[in-house]
Amino acid sequence: MRLATWNINSIRTRVDRVLAFLEREDVDVLAMQEIKCKPEQFPREALEAAGYELAVHGLNQWNGVAIASRVGLADVEVGFPGQPTWSSKEGVEPVVEARALGATVGGLPGPDGAVSDPVRLWSLYVPNGRELTHPHYAYKLEWLRVLRDDVAGWLAAEPAQSLALVGDWNVAPRDEDVWDMSVFEGATHVSVPEREAFAAFEGAGLTEVTRDRVTNYTYWDYQKLRFPRNEGMRIDFVYGSAAFEGRVRGAAIDRNERKGKGASDHVPVIVDVD
Binding-site annotation: residue ranges for Mg(2+): 7, 34, 168, 170, 265-266
* Pairwise CA distance, residues 114 & 108, whole Å: 8
Q: Is 75 a catalytic residue?
A: no
Q: Which of 28, 168, 177, 236 is catalytic?
A: 168
* Cα separations in angstroms, 117 against 29, 99, 107: 13, 26, 5
Task: Specify the 3-state DSSP secondary structure of 95.
Answer: strand
* Cα separations in angstroms, 73 against 12, 49, 109, 256: 22, 16, 12, 29
Q: Is 149 a catalytic residue?
A: no
Phi first, then psi: give them for residue 36, nearest 5 degrees.
Answer: 60, 45
Q: Which of 52, 177, 217, 266 is catalytic?
A: 266
Annotated binding-site ranges: 7, 34, 168, 170, 265-266
Q: Which of 28, 52, 57, 125 is catalytic?
A: 125
Cβ atoms 255, 267 nearer than 8 A: yes
Q: Is 150 a catalytic residue?
A: no
Catalytic positions are: 125, 168, 266
